[in-house]
Every structure is written in structure tokens, then in C-alpha cells.
Amino acid sequence: MDGFTEARHLDEVREHIEKETLALVYVYGETCSVCHAVMPQIKPVIEQFESIVPMQIDSERFPEVSGEWTIFTVPVILLFLNGKEILRKARFIEKRELDTQLTKIVYALQSEEEER
């Protein structure tokens, strides 16, 4: 699927989450029509935040991803801050709501950094 950097294995996603301050993981299914419809809507929203580093993984190719992060449906957006999940959006992801939530998170982190 066209979108973000495609994970080649689950360990790559784990490393991504541990390495990046703000790591976003988009979990999709190759045969999921909603997943393909959501991506072009959310991709520009996510890409406007330089501090968020996205990656995607196909849950049909790597079913163990569902157990790793307790995923019951796709698509799912998981946002991690310093390795801890801070946001989860699933199935029908509302573009404006996602934008608002990501803006608040990024702004709060920038404000915190400026105070230091």
C-alpha cells in the first residue's frame, strides 16, 4: 500500500517505536477497503507534523502485530511518545479529530521543550 515507510518485520516496528520520540504506526490489512480509503485522507494530516515519524505494517502479512498491541480491527493508528502508547484511533478515523489531537500533542511537546 502506498503510504508511509513499510515495515519488513515486526522487530522493525519495535525498533521504530523505541528509537523515535514520536513514532506513529499505521496498521492496515492489504485486503481492507477501509484501510485503503483512509490512508489518502490521513497521510497529509500526519505528514504536516515533522516531529511525528510514521511507519506502516500489514496485519495480514504479520498477524502477530495484533497480539503485540491488542488490535481487534484495522485500520489502526498508534502514536507512541518515548515508547509509550499515547493515542489510538481505529476503523473509521475522522480526519479533523486526528488533526486536532496531533496538534495538541505536538504543541504540548514543543512548549515543554521550550520551557527547558
Quote the CA–CA distance of 43 and 3 in Å, as a whole number. 7
What pLDDT was estimated at residue 111? 86
C-beta separation of 25 from 83 below 8 A: no
Domain residue spans of the chain = 5-115
CATH number of 5-115: 3.40.30.10
DSSP helix/strand/coil, 39: helix
Question: Angle CA(4)–CA(73)–CA(38) in degrees, nearest 5?
Answer: 40
User: pLDDT tens, 21-65?
Assistant: 999 999 999 999 999 999 999 999 999 999 999 999 999 999 999
Give the global pTM.
0.94
What pLDDT was estimated at residue 44? 97
User: Could you tell me which of 32, 97, 22, 98 has the C-alpha nearest to residue 54?
Assistant: 22
Rg of the chain in Å (alpha carbons): 14
Mean pLDDT of 103-109: 95
